[in-house]
Structure 1
């Protein structure tokens, strides 16, 4: 049965039928009467930790959480070059992967290609499988947003020069090999770690 993972700043909320086999400590929450809006507000500036909603029907609980939030869809890519290197960007003082919001009437896969091409100045050659979905929560005005991002595996011909889209806050774009990921792992978002695991650039965490 699927385990859902929602990132909230430095916190992680798991929704699962079994207790995840995790390294870090996890606080179990009661599903009965759980209100996501209240839970989110109570987190405030608390230090990051992991929480678990243990339920026989993770999908139903996750659906209820989605219904309480404003949903924003985004899409991005894990891009490899002909030399076997991977495309990373540096934005807001963290390593990231190119991604962006899906426009009205646009398919997720199309949005992923458009965003990668706009943010890095490359031409995508192939847009293959969907690697994974990630979810993270933030505040937009008075609303709590749940952003769903679909991630796709992509390739380019050769290894083109990268042109970071500075108006989007991207200060650097780089091709990195699997052996050069240490700075990325040390300074990126938990959701990006999920994508790197799905793309087999990092070992899979046990869940």
Structure 2
């Protein structure tokens, strides 16, 4: 987390020094021994720090959606052993709203039509061919009206697509990524937990 104030539950975090901060080194440290789940950098200007950090790595832009149906259920996918929300990389020249709808439709086999309001931007780090990259994902609210059968996009590693009600969301949170928890938090679907990268 990049923050301008010390987190309320700072005992769950390890503080990192902003002067010596290096995303690539941190990522390798976390993957190597994962001593803690959460880290934070305390700085005077969180947005400026994030902007500087983004210059040190390749940034991949993506978009996705939190889809709600007429019954109040939410759409989740199961990919590579974890619950997730449908999302994917933006194509060249594609607006984030368009990419979010396209990815939901491709990954779940339903037709959304249009995008709702933006929920949040999330950031997460991973590697591609040994290179540490930062994925910036734009998340949108979406509504689905219909009864089409859900169809997981198997070629993208998705093995299940499922509508879940609010009582199922804690199960999802127990086996998902911090960025997905952040999206759910922003929609008041989870109790407050430490996950956002930027505050």
Give the alignment's TM-score, normalised by structure 2: 0.90
Q: CA deviation at 1:142?
A: 4.0
Cα distance 1:185–1:142, how it changes in 2: closer, same or farther (>3 A)? Answer: closer
How far apart are the structure 2 equivalents of 1:108 and 1:117? 14
Map Cα deviations across residues 116-161 of structure 1 (whole Å, 9 max, x no partner).
0011111114421100111011121242100000100001113432
Cα offset for 1:200? 2.1
- In structure 2, how many angstroms separate the alpha carbons of the residues matched to 1:194 and 1:24? 19
Structure 2: runs of 5 or more not aligned: none
Deviations 1:11-43 (A, max 9, x none): xxx211110112752222222233333333333
State how many pairs are aligned: 194
Asked whether 1:32 is paired with 2:19, we answer yes
Q: Which residue of 2 aligns with 1:171?
A: 159
Corresponding residue of 1:80: 68
Q: Choose which of 186, 189, 198 in structure 1 pairs with 2:174.
A: 186
Equivalent residue for 2:53?
65
How far is 1:52 from its partner? 2.0
For residue 122 of structure 1, the aligned residue among 107, 110, 113 is 110
Does 2:45 match 1:95? no
CA drift at 1:50: 2.1
Aligned-pair Cα RMSD in Å:
1.8
1:45 to 32, 51, 56: 32
Distance 1:180 1:40, change over 3 A: closer
Alignment deviations for residues 46-101 of structure 1 (CA, whole Å, 9 cap, x no partner): 12432221111111211111000100011000001111111111110111110010
Alpha-carbon offset, residue 203 of structure 1: 3.0
Segments of structure 1 that go 5 or more residues without pairing to the other structure are 1-13
Aligned to 1:140: 128
Structure number with higher strand proportion: 1
Distance 1:200 1:107 in 2: 26
Output the CA distance in 2 between the equivalents of 1:193 and 1:143: 25
Whether 1:18 aligns to 2:9 is no
Partner-residue secondary structure (3-state), 2:100: helix
